[in-house]
């Protein structure tokens, strides 16, 4: 009997059922038919969920840029029987096309569920979603693989010699283990004997994740006239941001960019990886190293050619070869990342998430997500621009709560391997009317950014306060200060996020800002009091230090505490400290 595991009909996507709050496995068709009944994706890792989310968005973007919410093809398109776009009618201008796409988004959102055209599309391409098919999902066949890699790296050569090369082990592809041949993962969630075990459903999820979060330890590459290095997976090179929601349907819809945000773009034909006629067709495109001009191609970008051989015990043997990756500089079509500007070239590139800043909460970078002051050196995340468009077009209500979320798999910082070191997640909730405040005189985002700046100045002051205590105690002052600074910000995170979520477009700005300042003052002084309560006789006696002019001065816990309090009062504009706070 022919082996099959078709992702369109077999359960492999983990979701949370909204009614039972239980985790269930569903197929692609089940997911799209019932997305409104699921709370969220619930795979092995949040970063894996993001990679799967982008695959789901690639399907939806492809379908609903060809068919409207009534399952009818747009009148300005000619569509073939295989659902592919044949041509776009030149008599229709961008505005007409964009209006139709906007209406489709609106009809879907108001309808509260996806339509049957998605199922029809998946049935049409079911052969491309089978792990064991003639064109296996996210893989290539042995003959395709051998045709493009050096002979000594081929599958046939490995079978002939009994020494296959260019392999990636399941224990490395499984990003909860990420064990290479050179280093053992000591704290893995599996014992050594089972690290290479996995089900077909797990294999499908890890295949998608690996294509997005590949490191650079492997050396096998396809043959090419131009030299290239094996690059990291595309998502691995981002500092991701996306919209969260109250159901999986809402999450998918809020991230479904149907209308081009660039007015100069008329209609990009979506081309996910499974719509290429074959590997040669796909590699021809990848050898050009051009950034995709459509989101479906971007969301389904491969970083490696993968081929799976199954041994007698039905264990997968995975061959991998690098393929050219396009440059991320100026790849502004990517909507799910923060950007930074190169000071020399003025070009934007993704601001890669770094392990150095794992403790920095998302709200502290508010100005990088939203271009508060409309500066030219900041490129707003595309998903934020899209949400702004939805609000401006009246497609989401002013009082709708929006969740911006970020999850990143951080590498160990070793550029020669880029092995995963840890995963981080954060989010912030804010009302649409606040995030995209249209008032000019009392613009909410500017007031929020000002509040964050004050908070960070006081946070810096608290670091110096703690470092001074460390200096007096004759221990590593920098390390002591950093540890207590991290604890201080951890104390701030929950109340700040609650305050941010409580804001509305009708609020008295000054009153709400003062509300946060009062909270900030209370937390800061409580933290200082806690430190003071642990003072030793040495802390009280102090030491002699020298200022920047080399003038000797006596410092102790009281001088350090007074310095911090002066900073707090200055930044919070002279608010008086309650007697109880001074105890």
Does 234 fall in a domain?
A: no
Q: DSSP 3-state assignment of 410? A: strand
Q: Average pLDDT of each block of 10 consecutive residues along the chain (583 residues)?
A: 91 98 98 98 97 98 98 97 96 96 98 98 97 95 96 94 89 79 70 81 96 91 92 94 97 98 92 96 95 98 95 87 95 96 93 82 91 86 96 94 94 82 93 86 88 95 96 95 95 97 93 96 96 93 87 92 94 57 37
Ramachandran angles phi, psi of 318, nearest 5°: -105, 115
Ramachandran angles phi, psi of 45, nearest 5°: -145, 155
| Cα Rg, the chain, nearest whole Å | 27
* Alpha-carbon gap, residue 539 to 532, rounded angstroms: 9
Strand partners, 168: 318
Ramachandran angles phi, psi of 40, nearest 5°: -170, 170
* Alpha-carbon gap, residue 425 to 406, rounded angstroms: 6
Does 152 fall in a domain?
A: yes
Among residues 301, 336, 366, the one where a domain terminates is 301
* Alpha-carbon gap, residue 521 to 368, rounded angstroms: 26
* Alpha-carbon gap, residue 206 to 532, rounded angstroms: 50
Give the pTM: 0.93
Does 331 fall in a domain?
A: no
* Alpha-carbon gap, residue 63 to 116, rounded angstroms: 11
Query: Angle of helix 94-111 relative to helix 46-64, nearest 10 degrees?
Result: 120
The predicted pLDDT at position 577 comes to 43
Does 102 fall in a domain?
A: yes
Same domain, 127 and 275: yes
How many independent structural domains does the chain possess? 2
The answer to whether the CB of 432 falls within 8 A of the CB of 398 is yes
The predicted pLDDT at position 78 comes to 97
* Alpha-carbon gap, residue 235 to 242, rounded angstroms: 12
Domain that holds residue 48: 13-174+205-213+244-301
Does 396 fall in a domain?
A: no
* Three-state SS annotation for 255-285: CCCCCCCCCCCCCCCCCCHHHCCCHHHHHHH
Does 347 fall in a domain?
A: no
Among residues 286, 301, 316, the one where a domain terminates is 301
The predicted pLDDT at position 185 comes to 67
Residue from 34, 278, 27, 45 nearest 130 by CA: 27
Ramachandran angles phi, psi of 361, nearest 5°: -70, 155
The answer to whether the CB of 66 falls within 8 A of the CB of 97 is no
The predicted pLDDT at position 181 comes to 67
* Alpha-carbon gap, residue 496 to 366, rounded angstroms: 12
**CATH number for the domain harbouring residue 484:** 1.10.132.100
The predicted pLDDT at position 579 comes to 38
Report which secondary-structure segment, H or E, holds 367: helix 366-369
Among residues 301, 324, 339, the one where a domain terminates is 301
- Which residues, at least 6 apart from 445, have a Cβ–Cβ distance to it below 8 Å? 366, 370, 372, 434, 435, 437
Does 461 fall in a domain?
A: yes
Does 410 fall in a domain?
A: no
- Which residues, at least 6 apart from 362, have a Cβ–Cβ distance to it below 8 Å? 369, 404, 406, 426, 427, 428
The three-point CA angle 84-243-502 to 5° equals 155
* Alpha-carbon gap, residue 3 to 278, rounded angstroms: 22
Ramachandran angles phi, psi of 148, nearest 5°: -120, -5
For 176-226, give the DSSP string. Answer: TT---SSS--TT-SS-GGGTT---HHHHHHHHHHHHHS--S----B---SS
Strand partners, 425: 407
Residue from 285, 328, 289, 335 nearest 58 by CA: 335
Chain centroid, CA 322 distance in Å:
23
How many CA atoms within 13 Å lie on the side-chain side of 375?
A: 14
The predicted pLDDT at position 477 comes to 94
Q: List Cα–Cα distances, 476 to 311, 466, 467, 483, in angstroms.
A: 55, 11, 8, 11
- Which residues, at least 6 apart from 304, have a Cβ–Cβ distance to it below 8 Å? 210, 211, 214, 218, 230, 320, 321, 322, 323
Query: Angle of helix 557-571 relative to helix 509-533, nearest 10 degrees?
Result: 180
């Amino acid at each position: 009997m022919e082996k099959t595991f078709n992702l369109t009909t077999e359960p492999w996507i983990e979701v949370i059922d909204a009614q039972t709050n239980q985790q269930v496995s569903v197929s692609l068709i089940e997911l799209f038919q019932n997305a409104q009944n699921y709370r969220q994706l619930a795979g092995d890792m949040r970063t894996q969920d993001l990679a799967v989310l982008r695959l789901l968005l690639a399907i939806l973007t492809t379908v609903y840029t060809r068919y409207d919410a009534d399952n009818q093809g747009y009148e300005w398109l000619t569509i073939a029987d295989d659902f592919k776009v044949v041509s776009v009618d030149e008599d229709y201008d961008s505005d007409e096309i964009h209006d139709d796409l906007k209406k489709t988004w609106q009809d879907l959102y108001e309808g509260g569920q996806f339509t049957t055209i998605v199922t029809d599309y998946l049935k049409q391409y079911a052969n491309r979603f089978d792990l064991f098919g003639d064109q296996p999902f996210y893989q290539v066949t042995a003959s395709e693989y051998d045709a493009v890699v050096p002979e000594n790296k081929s599958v046939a050569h490995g079978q002939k010699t009994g020494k296959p090369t260019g392999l990636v082990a399941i224990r490395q592809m499984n990003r909860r283990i990420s064990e290479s041949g050179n280093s053992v993962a000591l704290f893995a969630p599996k014992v050594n004997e089972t690290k290479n075990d996995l089900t077909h459903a797990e294999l499908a999820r890890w295949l998608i994740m690996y294509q997005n979060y590949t490191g650079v330890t492997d050396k096998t590459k396809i043959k090419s006239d131009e030299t290239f290095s094996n690059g990291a997976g595309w998502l691995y090179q981002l500092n991701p941001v996306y919209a969260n929601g109250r159901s999986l349907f809402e999450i998918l819809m809020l991230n479904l960019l149907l209308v081009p945000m660039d007015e100069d773009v008329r209609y990009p034909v979506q081309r996910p990886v499974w719509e290429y006629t074959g590997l040669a067709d796909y590699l021809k495109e990848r050898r050009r190293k051009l950034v995709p001009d459509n989101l479906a191609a971007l969301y389904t970008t491969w970083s490696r050619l993968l081929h799976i051989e199954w041994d007698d015990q039905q264990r997968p043997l995975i061959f991998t070869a690098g393929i050219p990756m396009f440059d991320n500089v100026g790849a502004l079509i990517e909507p799910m990342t923060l950007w930074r500007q190169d000071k020399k070239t003025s070009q934007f590139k993704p601001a890669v998430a770094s392990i150095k800043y794992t403790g920095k909460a998302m709200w502290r970078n508010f100005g990088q997500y939203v271009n508060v002051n409309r500066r030219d050196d900041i490129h707003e995340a595309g998903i934020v621009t899209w949400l702004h468009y939805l609000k401006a077009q009246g497609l989401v209500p002013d009082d709708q709560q929006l969740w911006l979320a970020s999850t990143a798999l951080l590498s160990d910082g070793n550029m020669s391997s880029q092995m995963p070191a840890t995963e981080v997640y954060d989010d912030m909730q804010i009302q649409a009317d606040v995030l995209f405040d249209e008032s000019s005189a009392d613009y909410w985002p500017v007031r929020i950014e000002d509040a964050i700046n004050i908070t960070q100045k006081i946070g810096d002051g608290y670091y110096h306060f703690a470092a001074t205590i460390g200096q007096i105690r004759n221990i590593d002052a920098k390390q002591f200060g950093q540890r207590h600074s991290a604890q201080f910000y951890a104390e701030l995170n929950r109340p700040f996020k609650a305050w941010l979520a409580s804001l509305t477009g009708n609020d008295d700005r000054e009153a709400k800002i003062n509300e946060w300042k009062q909270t900030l003052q209370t937390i800061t002084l409580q933290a200082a009091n806690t430190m003071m309560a642990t003072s030793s006789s040495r802390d009280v006696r102090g030491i002699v230090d020298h200022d920047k002019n080399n003038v000797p001065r006596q410092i102790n816990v009281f001088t350090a505490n007074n310095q911090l309090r002066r900073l707090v009062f200055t930044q919070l504009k002279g608010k008086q400290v309650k007697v109880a706070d001074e105890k």
